[in-house]
């Protein structure tokens, strides 16, 4: 399966809507889309995972890297729309304690 990355920019806020599966095959495409944005100063990134059906540890690694880059540049990084399965993945790994995760698609998404 592939991944679709749709990036919408409004000033310093980026809404990134993902669709598909995030794994070793699709993670490079996600990384190419996220990392240039994550290196901007004071950026706010909201990532909508409501249409992500599967994610493995490679996907987690991409999000951790982007999160660290955003934080290093005084930005905000938020995940929204996680399925129960994805939420559990972030909880089990402890990432839910450091990454801002909102329920539903709140946080600027319609």
Each residue of 49-97: pLDDT tens digit? Answer: 999 999 999 999 999 999 999 999 999 999 999 999 999 999 999 999 9
Structural domain contains residue 110:
no
CATH number where 56 lies? 3.30.750.24
Query: Can you tell me the distance from the alpha carbon of 107 to that of 110, in angstroms, rounded to the nearest whole number?
Result: 9
Domain count, the chain: 1
Domain span at 77: 3-102
Structural domain contains residue 109:
no
Residue written as tokens 């991944």? 3
Structural domain contains residue 13:
yes
Structural domain contains residue 60:
yes
E strands present in the chain: 3-10, 13-22, 44-55, 76-80, 100-102
Each residue of 92-106: pLDDT tens digit? Answer: 999 999 999 997 654
73 backbone φψ class: left, alpha, beta (φ>0; ψ -120 to 50): alpha
Note the pTM of the prediction, 2 decimals. Answer: 0.90
């Amino acid at each position: 399966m592939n991944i679709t990355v749709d990036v919408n920019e409004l000033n310093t806020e980026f809404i990134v809507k993902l669709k598909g599966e995030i794994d070793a095959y699709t993670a490079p495409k996600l990384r190419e889309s996220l990392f240039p944005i994550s290196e901007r100063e004071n950026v706010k990134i909201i990532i909508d995972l409501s249409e992500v059906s599967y994610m493995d540890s490679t996907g987690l690694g991409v999000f951790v890297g982007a999160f660290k880059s955003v934080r290093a540049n005084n930005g905000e990084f938020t995940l929204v729309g996680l399925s129960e399965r994805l939420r559990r993945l972030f909880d089990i790994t402890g990432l839910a304690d450091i990454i801002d995760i909102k329920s539903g698609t709140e946080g600027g998404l319609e």
